[in-house]
């Protein structure tokens, strides 16, 4: 973006800190590891300082000592020495280094002012785009959200942590598991699933995949309800496919165990005990920290932004997305040449990033393609593979847990397993895989535990 001289001059920067950092690295190359682990050459304000920092980083990375002579030789070779002020300017940087330098303070100053400049430039970009005759408000807002998220990610990146910093919290987790059998995961209240996974873990991207009409939305809502009501956790549910009133009716039918059809159509009318059950369930759900976003057209940028805001304002322990292939990709994340599979790959990676950044489980429902049905016969039913995830193989790579939901009576009306559902854990990055059998009460859109045995998932 082209800036007027006055604006460019006014952009925040700390020239003394930049000179001190460059001088310190020229005197002692050991400072480079600390500097470039927290900032990069583009964080410097002056173009000359950017080029000098990049030259120092390149020489040290190649195993060559970086001093005024070697840096000047490299810049001269690339015809940049005169631009940065020549050898005399490089040498003058050594004079700006205090005897007892606090390099961390200088790094933070440069990093902070770099973030401020990016915020200013993002704001100017909004102004410039907004005055154009064909300005699209939604596109401008999404671009601004992307910029803000990118700047925030850079500003708050944790970077490397030593094993000594990580060890104590890891030992505390192990002690808790050994003493109480609790791995810290959010319990779904489906006992065999919790035994196999230890609950849904922070930072995990979990996919519940199925063919249409198998009940993946119902299963997602059942788990969300259990976590919100029984464990009093804060749950976010993005419903791109269904409206919030439809979601609420399903939650009431599930919790109260009354007919979904009766709630939706009034046929048959609810009896007194059913009405009481609905009222009681309504009070439970009303008091739960369950937040529903039913925006019909939702981009991954908007989703991440809303999840961040919910965590800041209300707290957030887990997020559900129904369903993954309906999420949109907009702005700079997409090119016109991208296929839908490439778009889904962007979405999948972004959901995994969201899980790690917010330190919560992110659960996405997903559609399967027709391959399972083509692979299996009528009697044995579909046979599932990770590659069956619709529109992108990236989902199976990014996901920490992939579960397939299958109901045999959806393919064979005469099946002896009517009312049963198989939940097939096909991938678990940090644990075993296997099949879990659940009861499915279609009338209430409710899943329940079958008789719970002592399975050994090894």
Strand arrangement, sheet containing 362-367 = 290-293, 235-239, 318-322, 362-367, 205-210, 401-406, 420-428, 434-441, 446-449
Active site residue 241: yes
Give every CB contact of residue 185 below 8 A, 6+ residues apart in sequence: 194, 197, 198, 199, 200, 201, 202, 361
| Omega within 30 of 0 (cis) for the link into 207 | no
Ranges of H-type helices in 181-292? 191-197, 216-225, 244-256, 260-265, 272-287
Residue 80: other Cβ atoms inside 10 A: 17
327 neighbors 303 (Cβ within 8 angstroms): yes
Task: Name the token pair of 29.
Answer: 């190359």
Q: Which distant-in-sequence residues (6+ apart) come within 8 Å of 299 by Cβ?
A: 142, 327, 328, 329, 330, 331
At 11, list the tokens.
């952009």
Is residue 210 a contact partner of residue 324, using CB atoms and an 8 Å limit? no
Q: Which of 34, 80, 241, 257 is catalytic?
A: 241
227: DSSP letter: I
Helix/strand/coil percent split, the chain, to 5: 55, 15, 35
404 neighbors 210 (Cβ within 8 angstroms) = yes
Question: How is residue 417 written in tokens?
Answer: 């397993």
| Kind and range of the H or E run holding 12 | none
Instruction: Identify which of 155, 54, 158 has the alpha carbon closest to the alpha carbon of residue 110.
Output: 155
Distance of alpha carbon 145 from its chain centroid, rounded? 15
* CB environment 36-47: b (16+ within 10 A), e (fewer): beebbbebbbee
Q: Which residues are catalytic?
A: 241
């Amino acid at each position: 973006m082209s800036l007027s001289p006055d604006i460019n001059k006014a952009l925040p920067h700390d020239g003394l800190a930049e000179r001190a950092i460059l001088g310190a690295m020229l005197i002692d190359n050991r400072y480079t590891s600390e500097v470039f682990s927290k900032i990069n050459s583009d964080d410097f304000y002056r173009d000359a300082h950017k080029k000098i920092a990049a030259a120092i980083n390149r020489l040290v990375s190649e195993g060559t000592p970086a001093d005024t002579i070697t840096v000047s030789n490299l810049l001269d070779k690339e015809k940049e020495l005169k631009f940065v002020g020549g050898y005399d300017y490089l040498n003058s940087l050594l004079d700006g280094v205090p005897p007892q330098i606090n390099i961390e303070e200088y790094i933070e100053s440069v990093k902070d002012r770099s973030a401020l400049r990016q915020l200013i430039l993002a704001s100017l970009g909004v102004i410039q785009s907004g005055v154009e005759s064909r300005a699209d408000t939604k596109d401008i807002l999404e671009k601004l959200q992307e910029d803000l998220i990118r700047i925030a990610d850079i500003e708050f990146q944790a970077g490397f942590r030593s094993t000594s910093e990580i060890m104590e919290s890891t030992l505390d987790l192990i002690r808790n598991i050994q003493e109480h059998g609790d791995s810290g995961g959010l319990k779904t209240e489906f006992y065999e699933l919790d035994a196999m996974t230890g609950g849904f873990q922070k930072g995990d991207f979990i996919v519940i995949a199925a063919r249409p009409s198998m009940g993946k939305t119902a299963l997602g809502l059942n788990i969300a309800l259990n976590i919100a009501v029984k464990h009093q956790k804060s749950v976010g549910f993005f419903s791109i496919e269904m409206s919030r009133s439809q979601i609420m009716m399903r939650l009431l039918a599930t919790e109260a165990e009354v007919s979904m059809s009766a709630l939706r159509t009034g046929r048959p009318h609810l009896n007194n005990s059913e009405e009481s059950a609905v009222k009681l369930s309504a009070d439970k759900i009303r008091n739960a920290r369950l937040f529903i976003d039913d925006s019909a057209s939702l981009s991954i940028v908007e989703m991440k932004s809303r999840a961040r805001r919910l965590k800041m304002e209300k707290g957030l322990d887990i997020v559900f997305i129904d369903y993954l292939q309906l999420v949109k990709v907009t702005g700079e994340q997409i090119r016109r040449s991208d296929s839908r599979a490439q778009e889904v790959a962007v979405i999948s990676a972004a959901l995994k990033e969201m899980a790690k950044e917010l330190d919560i489980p992110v659960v996405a429902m997903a559609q399967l393609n027709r391959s399972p049905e083509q692979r299996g016969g009528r009697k044995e039913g579909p046979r599932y593979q990770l590659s069956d995830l619709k529109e992108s193989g990236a989902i199976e790579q990014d996901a920490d847990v992939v579960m397939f939901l299958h109901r045999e009576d959806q393919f064979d009306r005469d099946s002896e397993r009517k009312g049963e559902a198989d939940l097939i854990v096909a991938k678990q990055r940090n644990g075993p895989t296997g099949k879990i059998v659940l009861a499915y009460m279609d009338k209430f859109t409710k899943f329940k535990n079958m008789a719970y045995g002592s399975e050994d998932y090894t």
